[in-house]
Amino acid sequence: MSTYSSTTSSCLLTPPVSPPSSPVETQFPYVVGATFLAKRHEPPSRSEMGYCELQGIPEVTYDVPQRDWCLAHPPAPGITHEEDVRSIEIAKAIRVGENCSAQLVLTADGFVAKVYDPLYYTWHDPENPWNLDVAAYADRDYITEAAAYSELCDTKFPGDITPTYHGSWTISIPTGSNGIESFRDVRLVIMENIHGVSMQNLDPTTLTGRERENIMARLIEADIDLRFSGVVHEDLMPRNVMLSLLDSSQKYLDGGFRLCMIDFEACEFPKDENGTGPAPRFHNPLFYWIGQQWWIDWGWLPKEEEAYEWMWNMWGNGGNEGKYVVVHRDPESSFWQPIWPRRVQV
């Protein structure tokens, strides 16, 4: 049985039988003013959960209410530190509600809490006649995002190209089902609140060409920095990149803004595959960004030849202060690809 399945943690292989409906209903918990007592939690590792293997999350073929499924399939246990607690009060909803995966809220003390509550994940598969194992999806999202922040905690990136991380936690949520009020453990992470605008909400045509180049150069180098620190952001879309102006110029000029990547629940870890991560001979953005058509289509990069010529001028010779390896263009490639180095023979 795949360890992706949340049945591994709950030890329940079949859903509970649902008695007749009852008047006990669950009130949506993530509202302004709601307060929770959170306990620090260490999630199990990705390898313990089997996430390093190429396995999918199985579907739910049982006819069972989502609430009952969540009660019967608690999150993977990990380690809860009962003595390490903090109060969390919701001051503002950022993204909450049904069918929106993790809930995002601003806390009264100024942090962002990302709550992986499977009861508010999408339950019905819109393309198939079965349901999704929301408990397993919530587990995977939480464990992966916490692992990403933990992997980067000893680097220089938190507070710069990634949010400052304030740990992983667990809370208890009252949940009415079948006439009985029960409690569910729900996991969350707490991070810095980034003041700024996402690239999705910024029209690139309102910026100068120099500003777009500055932003894209910062983004591309941030992506490479994280890759070679052990984390690959597999959902690097404009909505997951925040921009914050740092001075009064209101321009995205050199040194005048911060770029911060968010939302690491879908990331990958190269060390999971080979134990070491990317080889140093590939330490250059041209190996990863030549051919990134989406960013051209979104208007953040110019048309293909102009974009690729700019990239080669930026990083072909190793970039500023020789940060990257020098690469050469493949004369046989019509797509401006670099020559890929051969594996060193031992």
Model pLDDT for residues 146-155, shown as the tens digit of each residue: 999 999 999 9
| Cα–Cα dist 318/192, whole Å | 33
The β-bridge relationship of strands 165-177 and 103-107 is unpaired
Element (H, E) at 37: strand 35-42
Q: What was the pLDDT predicted at 54?
A: 53
Q: What was the pLDDT predicted at 53?
A: 61
Q: What was the pLDDT predicted at 12?
A: 35
| Cα–Cα dist 186/105, whole Å | 14
Model pLDDT for residues 75-99, shown as the tens digit of each residue: 999 999 999 999 999 999 999 999 9
| Cα–Cα dist 254/271, whole Å | 33
DSSP state of 63: -
Q: Percent of the chain, pLDDT > 90?
A: 71
**Contact by Cβ (8 Å): 67, 15:** no
Q: What was the pLDDT predicted at 180?
A: 79
Q: What was the pLDDT predicted at 250?
A: 82
Q: What was the pLDDT predicted at 190?
A: 99
* Statement: residue 4 has pLDDT above 70: no
Instruction: Label each residue of 232-276 as H, E or C.
Output: ECCCCCHHHEEEEECCCCCCCCCCCEEEEECCCCCCECHHHHHCC
Q: Which strand ranges, in their side-by-side order, compose the sheet holding 257-261?
A: 197-198, 241-245, 257-261
| Cα–Cα dist 77/39, whole Å | 13
* Statement: residue 125 has pLDDT above 90: no
Nearest 10 degrees: Cα torsion 221, 226, 231, 237: -40
Domain boundaries, the chain: 7-192, 197-322
pTM above 0.85, yes or no: yes
For 250-270, what is the mean pLDDT? 93
CATH 1.25.40 describes domain 197-322: no
